Amino acid sequence: MPELTYREAVRDALRKALREDERVFLMGEDIAEMGGSMAVTQGLLEEFGPQRVRNTPISEMAIVGSGIGAAIQGMRPVVEIMYEDFLTLSMEQLVNQAAKHRTMSGGQVRVPLTVRTQGGAGWSPGAQHAQQLEAWFVHVPGLKVVFASTPEDVRGLLWSSIYDDNPVLFFEHRTLYPIKGEVPEELEPIPLGKARVHREGEDVTVVATGRLVHEALRAAEEAERDGVSVEVVDPRTLLPLDEETIIASVRKTTRCVTAHEAVTRGGFGAELAAVIQHGAFDWLDAPIERVGAKFAPLPFAPVMEQYVVPHAEDVYEAIRRTVARG
């Protein structure tokens, strides 16, 4: 199988959708000539022209609102919000409009809108350009929420998001763009709502998202040297959530760690812990451990930034704690 970077895999899914479906078009700040702030859409303007790769004004509410209108009229827009922090400026459109139209119309109105955005620490962007806000949107009925961690997954999940008839928030992590991975020669759609088991294990389940999937895999290798077998599960789609795969894993291992880069309090790990407590309580041999960022705005200074966000060492320590308490 060929290797692609995470960035190339996103671009490949967008290019294929643009080639095969005239209803698909892209909108966002500086996505045309500049190719986007993270160079994801480079080359698409030259191939598809300014009608289908559209620069927009600096107004997140206008970008998302226009996308909603186009989706209702039968298009399949993919809009880009340059940093996920700026989703805050489009919350009314996302939460009160995009998420509600299908239900309020009795199913007569579809909103096949995909909102791509990226964030994450690791390059000193400061407190306003690196937040991880995915848990906010899991709380909103009518939205779907995706967070892919590998090139193969980001390509297949983005394709499925574009062709879902509901609004999808598609989160990407800034530091994952350069990573490489094998992908199928032909693009294979990955269904929304299906988790991926990256590593089989017997003693502890780590349920991780985004960048923390890779940190969890490193922690699992370290734990293996200590004689602890770790299973690593990536939900991939946070809403809908593949509860069956996660619960089955925890019932097998009897211990669990949740891990994400977002702050721990109120983060998606809390929802995972509740789901696991309900579905696997009688199998748990130790309390669920949660790994996330410290409850603070992200510092600009690199050393402080690294102190606030979690790493493989934090996941490894959580694994050790839950094994010790069993």
Position 139 scores a pLDDT of 97
Cβ 291 vs Cβ 322: under 8 Å: no
Position 1 scores a pLDDT of 78
Secondary structure percentages of the chain, helix, strand, coil, to 5: 40, 20, 40
Please state, in angstroms and rounded to a whole number, the distance separating the CA atoms of residues 158 and 97. 22
Average pLDDT, the chain: 97
Position 326 scores a pLDDT of 62
The residues of the chain scoring below 70 in pLDDT are 326
Write out the catalytic residue numbers: 60, 129
Please state, in angstroms and rounded to a whole number, the distance separating the CA atoms of residues 200 and 274. 23
Largest interatomic CA distance in the chain: 60
Position 189 scores a pLDDT of 97
Ranges in the chain annotated CATH 3.40.50.970: 3-182
pTM of the model: 0.96
For the domain 3-182, what is the CATH code? 3.40.50.970
Position 169 scores a pLDDT of 98
Instruction: Give the closest residue to 239 by CA, choosing from 157, 141, 148.
Output: 141
Ranges in the chain annotated CATH 3.40.50.920: 196-324
C-alpha distances (whole Å) from 265 to each of 124, 136, 179, 235, 293 are: 22, 12, 29, 19, 9
The alpha carbon torsion through 117, 237, 176, 31 (nearest 10 deg) reads -30
CATH topology of domain 196-324: Rossmann fold (3.40.50)
Please state, in angstroms and rounded to a whole number, the distance separating the CA atoms of residues 228 and 231. 10
Looking at 23-84, list the stretches that DSSP marks H as alpha helix, in order from N- to C-terminal side: 44-48, 60-72
